Amino acid sequence: MEYKGLGVTQRIAIGKVFRIVDAAPFDSNADSPQENEPKPGVFSPEREKEKLTAALEKSRRQIQDILQKMQAADPGNKNAGIIATQLGYFEDPAYNEDTIALIDGQGLSAVEAVRRMTRELCDTFNSFDDDPYMQGRSSDIADAGKRILNNLTGKITEIPQPLPSGTVIVAHDLIPSQTAQLDQEHVLGMVTETGNITSHTAIMARSMDIAAVVGCPDLMGEARDGDRIIVDAGKGLVLLRPDDAQIETYTGLQAEEEAARNTGETVKYHRIRRSNGREVLVAANIGNLRDARFAKEKGANGIGLFRTEFLFLGRSEMPDEHEQYEAYRQTAELFGKEPVSIRTLDVGGDKMLPYLRLPPEENPFLGMRAIRLCLRNPDIFRVQLRAILRASVYGNLRIMFPMICTREELKEAREILGECMSALTGAGIPFRKDIAVGMMIETPAAAIQAREFAKEVDFFSIGTNDLTQYTLAADRGNPLISGLYDGMNPAVQYLIKYSIEAARSTGIPSCLCGELAGDPRAIPVLAEYGLDEFSVAIDAIAGTKRILLSLDGFKTACLYY
């Protein structure tokens, strides 16, 4: 039987099914369970608060135990940071106080109070549909919430140990703390019925270097423990109970894949040039300083997209100028002369930051978001721009405006930037006066006007995630129309090519920072269009360089350290 999902990695696994039956994550849309609910007439707020305190403490000990095992097995385990963030939820006084207030003030049980708090927090972070970092935070909260609920109701959260050798995990979904317990020595891959490629579970699967596919509905109902299974993550393909011929074919492909990966590892620190001498950068998409360090280690030739939203979320007030400055400065210093493109704040009506007091919108993806919001709130915009300018003297920072649709928006944004430069000059504060200023091409309106926009900016960055969904009117998060969402669609490709050619004709570089930049199908096509910079997920850096070097007209210029 054949299943099609979304490939998280480029690995192939041939193994046997091991089903994780109760691995579904917290469902923010589910109705509240009745289990462990207080019976009429016997409700005791004090008893419910005692249960909550005990469940929080038990959850904290469980996470600490998982972390100790992870670090004992691998002292440099990068996934430990993802799991460690959960400790903050169990120890956060604000979370505890708000949950207790639901018990005292609304008469909710501990179970219902935790579910309500988790639901609200998940909904907030899930509203950041185009931001993997924020989606990862939602996954952390859901994981922590489910752990607390399981400890309140007596359910088991941990994955059975040890798992059989040659295991391929099959589950409805996995939460990050469960993924962290997978033994790489015995687990070859994982397939889930739900999930997306930007979740922390997916990120962890990539760092573990196992074959992983998400979004394969109905698989759990058909698979049985011990079934043979093939996972071709590069194609998002799962073969359940394959025949001998398929096993033989994939055994050969697996050997070829391993040889190709070894080659890719040797080229990750290479710089790449076209035969005409023009350099092609392979940069990284990041959300924080930890990502930046990991990207540097993996051979990134700079940062093509620094999402700054992480500084603004999960807090009661906006980060001040100094806090933002420090984040940008440290990243600039890390990459030195390499370009670091900082996207200015991209939040909106669908991304609920309480201190911005944004009104609800019927269609937030077409509403007050990104540059529109910043222009409407210039004080917030100025703080961020000043922070970026001050940090620019420590490296090669570039400013990138998101969601530009009109020349008037770009003009106004540049005017505010000019005001910030004048204010810093007057105060005697140094900054790079020649800092590059670019814009994102992520709407059809921007792409169609690319030749005019190219005369007014220093670089383009094509955001294909939004460009694809706006061009095809297909929500990339909606599984019912997932088949429509395809960056290789001719209409999307036309707009990408036109934008790259507009940049080239004007003499400015073009970057592409959507998922398409690391897609093996798209890399040769984008290279042929003349793209100057591929900004990809960190784990795709080596593979992207390998594919580029396999193309005619590309060669290694030198090593990058």
Whether residue 200 lies in the annotated active site:
yes
Secondary structure class of 453 (helix, strand, coil): helix
Give 165's contacts (C-beta < 8 A, 6+ positions apart): 185, 186
Q: Distance (Å, rounded) from C-alpha 243 to C-alpha 460?
A: 49
Give the SS3 label for residue 406. Answer: coil
Rounded CA separation 534/530 (Å)? 11
- In sequence order, what DSSP letters do the residues of 353-393 get, joined into one string? -GGG-PPP-SSGGGSSBTHHHHHHSHHHHHHHHHHHHHHGG
Burial class (CB in 10 A: 0-12, 13-18, 19+), 456: middle
Marked catalytic residue, from 122, 172, 200, 511: 200
Active site residue: 122, 216, 511, 513, which one? 513
Question: Does the annotation count 513 as an active-site position?
Answer: yes
The three-state (H, E, C) secondary structure of 100-165, written as one string: HHHHHHHCCCHHHHHHHHHHHHHHHHHCCCCCHHHHHHHHHHHHHHHHHHHHHHCCCCCCCCCCCC
Q: What is the bridge-based pairing of β-strands 270-274 and 533-536?
A: unpaired
Q: What phi and psi values does residue 19 have, to the nearest 5 degrees?
A: -85, 135
Query: Which amino acid, residue 435?
Result: I
* Active site (catalytic) residues: 200, 513
